[in-house]
Chains A and B, each alone.
Chain A
């Protein structure tokens, strides 16, 4: 292996290889080439520096204070979640009341039992359980036929 190949291999090599701890071709080259050995040592040192820097990295402030703040925030969020859940339940209950409880329905369309004649009188038949009121207006062509729930008891 020449220096060009060694430098290329070095870029992806395991650290053990760079340290000359493996019997690889690169390792053998590093034993015999001081310049490449220096490059490998430099890479190892830089990566060791990285590790030391990261190992020493610490967040600011004390852990106890950070944990206390996190606990308080967590409890606050849990409270909001519970309130949100309660609100959702209330909304769902209200929707259920509106949808499912019996309430006054708009009068159903009357059955088309009334037959208005071209002129003169006509007969109206109410469906079972209903009464009917017929109201004549000043316009002889307009007659109001009103079907309503029967008040009679059978």
Chain B
């Protein structure tokens, strides 16, 4: 189940209760959404600190505008759009894409010693750090589609609805993203293609 679908189920009863002003429901709803919003914002902004700021801004927006959510789209679609808008607004103000890539590399180096090695001969930390770096360097639209399709497991229609594009366009972005990511992985980690 994709993260969005899991969240949709988790908050299905909270949304109407929060809209009715039931005590504690709105706080519970925001708390339940926070991690997902952060991950979406992380993909959107490609920066951990920016994602924190965007997440907080989205929580404020949802707190102030939940009454205007009319249920015409799924709650997670509505929430995703707010996150996307806030990330766009934030991106206009701040650009620091490389910070996360550096942080990811440092983090990978730090925990490399203690991690298991799921790739056999290849160090997992190295692969993970490179994959993160490559993902975060993709153009934003490709990053979004790749995340929704290949990580969250959304269907083409779901992606199209969330991003406001046709399923065909979403598919084109996905293929571009895969090609960019995988070709770089294979080029920069030639050992990936060696026989075990």
A residues 31-62 near B (Cβ < 8 Å) are 34-36, 38-39, 42-43, 45-51, 53-55, 57-60
How many A-B residue contacts, CB cutoff 8 Å?
Answer: 125
Query: What are the residues of chain B within 8 A of A67 when measuring CB–CB?
Result: 27, 30-31, 34, 59
A74 at the interface (CB under 8 A from B): yes
A26 at the interface (CB under 8 A from B): no
Chain B nearest CB from A18 CB (Å) reads 9
Chain A interface size, as a band, is 35 or more
A54 engages B59 (CB within 8 Å): no
Query: What are the residues of chain B within 8 A of A42 when measuring CB–CB?
Result: 119, 122, 127, 185-186, 189, 192-193
Interface size on B, residues (CB 8 A): 50
B8 at the interface (CB under 8 A from A): no
Do most interface residues of chain A lie in helix, strand or loop, or is the interface mixed? helix
B75 at the interface (CB under 8 A from A): no
Binding site for A on B (CB under 8 A): 3, 26-27, 30-31, 34-35, 38-39, 42-43, 48, 51-52, 55-56, 59-64, 104, 118-119, 122, 124, 127-128, 130-132, 135, 147, 150-151, 175, 178-179, 181-183, 185-186, 189, 192-196
